[in-house]
Structure 1
């Protein structure tokens, strides 16, 4: 087996050819790697075979033909079933699991790969399928750093911003979930604001242009908040929680007046009010992490 995993002679198998799996395989084929593909529905491989990929009739055949085995299927249970099916064919290979699931599932898949004698990385893709292969596409990887380093050239074909985040296979999943968690919070806040502006007859596009400096500054607060959380030090001389409550009350009043749903800002007001009642009025907004930690 070729020990130089940074060479384009590295053979790769892609198991699972849904929207994302097909994009992964296509990026590797286009980059000049020898790629074998397999999917439960064989005709999903037709376009990739036309581009130069080899078709396997069974997953164990695909795995046996490759040094690096990429799995992208629906859910951790399906990924583990594939590993059981491929069994002995995985010995000495590297498994790159790019399947969504929980952190515990990724660890379980990693353990199964190890039982079959394979190296393992879990990757969390942070982009949509059309961006696969882009130098700006982000993928978080966790598991053995040695496995990451040996296969880094292949991984950077899939996404230029391939980053190893931890030896624990579950951490890449948690990083991905954290990004999505923040994304949904920001998007929901924006959509509530857009509904409020729309109810007042104000174009949302005009708002985003005028408010751009304030909006783009919001993510710059994250490192400061992260430092406060990691140190568990929340006292602040400015922008304390007690100053948030009047603004939240104003937002609720305006929303009610204009017939806008108040569930989202009400939940935020409840969080702030509870912290004030607990004596945290002079602390920063980061103090509310304790409320989420309690569940």
Structure 2
């Protein structure tokens, strides 16, 4: 652990699950005077051994530092812990790294403002083990001045920290968007692994080729993004009609192998709608028009 430096902002971390422990540990390693609090005090033992101060209560934890970072199970837990001590948040910066919805982020920002606190809503794009390394990403939304003031402090948690805008809800929307991407990629891999498994091929054998396929799709994304922003969809890799024919092959092969075909059927249903609306000759990015519609 680095020596504590008077130039480091004292920081409080509330919530010591795996992620909260990782956050507090990263601050300690960088020499920050760090106060911690958790309902189950024993979760702070290792951090205290590393130099953290364990507060006696959530109120004491907030009072201890001008920068308060909270990372708990959900926004209900945030309010359960902080609503009773809201008055001591006056003049402090509250950084909420709890996962939730954009509506919850806006509501919590309004609540924090009534307490006199400056509020940043954030999202962590990393597993606990990556906190404090080049693999961690943290995004924040809220007042730019507060982000700029504490970005050097947040750099202890993630090498890449990004301010998304003054709208407090943006971090939650970004987090949901990344989760959508993660699960879609994961489900695609599982579909392929199930098919190959039915054909007697181990998933470990499939993984390197799957990685190459994901990298190929990654290369398409900047072009797709530009088309979405421009509202025009010339085919880059293939037309939607060509993709649709391949989707039929995926469904047929899944069913032939006795594998669940619900996931490819869902993809094809969206694509059928795009074709019905005249997008058959467009590129795949035209499917954005289907995702923009309420379900």
Same fold (TM over 0.5): yes
Aligned residue number for residue 198 of structure 2? 199
Aligned residues: 290
- Matched-pair contact (CA < 8 Å) for 2:189–2:210: no
Counterpart of 2:222 in structure 1 is 223
State the partner residue of 1:3.
none
SS of 1:69's equivalent in the other structure is strand
SS of structure 2 residue aligned to 1:13:
strand
Q: Which TM-score applies when normalising by structure 2?
A: 0.93
Q: Does 2:62 align with 1:72? A: no
Q: Which region of structure 1 is more displaced relative to structure 2, 94-103 or 46-55?
A: 46-55
Question: Which string of whole-angstrom CA distances, capped at 9 and with x for unpartnered residues, describes residues 106-165 of structure 1?
Answer: 111112211111111111001111111113210111111110111111100011111111
Q: State the Cα distance separating 1:51 from its structure 2 match.
A: 1.2
Q: 1-side partners of 2:213 and 2:20: how far apart?
A: 38
**TM-score, L = length of structure 1:** 0.93
Partner Cα distance (2:183, 2:236) in 1: 30
CA distance in 2, matches of 1:9, 1:253: 61
**Paired residue for 1:40?**
39
Instruction: Measure, in 2, the Cα distance between the counterparts of 1:89 and 1:23.
Output: 25
Q: Corresponding residue for 1:30?
A: 29
CA contact (8 A) 1:18 1:73 kept: yes
Distance 1:271 1:227 in 2: 21
| Cα distance, 1:238 vs structure 2 | 5.8
**Displacement of 1:212:** 4.8
Equivalents in 2 of 1:76, 1:244: separation in Å? 41
* Helix, strand or coil at the partner of 1:158: coil
Aligned residue number for residue 152 of structure 1: 151
1:180 lines up with 2:191 in the alignment: no
Which residue number corresponds to residue 87 of structure 1? 86
Tell me, what secondary structure is at the counterpart of 2:155? helix
Distance in 2 of aligned mates of 1:171 and 1:9: 28
Cα distance in 2 for partners of 1:273, 1:64 equals 58
Indicate conservation of the 8 Å contact 1:14/1:71, yes or no: yes
CA distance change for structure 1 residues 93 and 269 in 2, over 3 Å: closer, same or farther? same
What does 1:1-295 align with in structure 2 at a 5 Å threshold?
8-210=7-209, 212-236=211-235, 239-294=238-293, 295=295
Post-superposition CA distance 1:199-247 (Å, at most 9, x none): 1123443344356544311112112111111221124376111111221
CA distance, structure 2, for counterparts of residue 238 and residue 112 of structure 1: 48
CA distance in 2, matches of 1:95, 1:148: 11
- Contact 1:80/1:112 (<8 A) preserved: no
**Cα distance in structure 2, aligned partners of 1:112 and 1:240:** 49
CA distance in 2, matches of 1:219, 1:44: 40
* 99 and 237 in structure 1: CA distance in 2 versus 1, 3 angstrom threshold: closer
Where 1:261 maps in the other structure, the secondary structure is coil
Cα distance in 2 for partners of 1:132, 1:211 equals 27
Query: Does the Cα contact within 8 Å between 1:29 and 1:51 map onto a contact in 2?
Result: yes
Structure 1 stretches lacking a partner, 5+ long: 1-5
The root-mean-square deviation of aligned C-alpha atoms, in Å, is: 1.8
Identify which range, 271-280 or 98-107, moves more after superposition. 271-280
Aligned-pair distance for 1:8? 4.2
